[in-house]
Amino acid sequence: MRRVRLFDKTFKTFIPYEDIEKAIDKVAEKINADFSGCQDIPVLLCVLNGSILFTAELMKRLTFDCEIVSTKLSSYSGTASTGKVRQVMGLTADITGRRVIIVEDIVDSGNTIVELRKILADKGAAESYVCTMLLKPDACRKDISLDYVAMEIPNDFIVGFGLDYNEIGRNLKDIYVLDQEDGQ
């Protein structure tokens, strides 16, 4: 088991890259089945910064034409959610009348998804779907529907494959969990 040190915390391997790839393959297969033969060009909404790697890997596996749009929201400080979602950067394109697949790295409290769906409705999206790489069912406090979930995980703090601890660790290929044996 590999360990990495980020600032004052130690993390240990939790989900190896090979398992991440398999989960992305499965979720892409479901999306391809649902959007097969679509006449429109759906939008993949990459929620920055965390979902960059997931969005890139997912796009490579999609077999229908799609456009990528980005937005940036924030609700974390350190290892905890602040409970308040703020829009840091607006949508990078007009989504009026378009079908939008929100591509999120992780859904925990559900606050970000609720806010994103509100933003998309206000901007005139025809429909919105949610695709998340990771879901923490024990942390979700909102009544939200998720259309595509690659993996469910416990309510632990994780980093890697796009997820960060105070903006570092996103570049790690595997996903790591906080190492409780390190006394933190």
Catalytic site residues? 108
Provide DSSP, 141-180. Answer: -S----SEEEEE--S--EEBTTB-BTTBSTT-SSEEEE-G
Q: What is the DSSP letter of 2?
A: -
Residue 156's nearest CA partner among 134, 181, 178, 184 is: 178
Provide DSSP, 107-149. Answer: ESSSHHHHHHHHHHHHTT-SEEEEEEEEE-TTT--S----SEE
- 75: its two tokens: 């609700």
CA-CA distance, 76 to 73, in Å (whole number)?
10
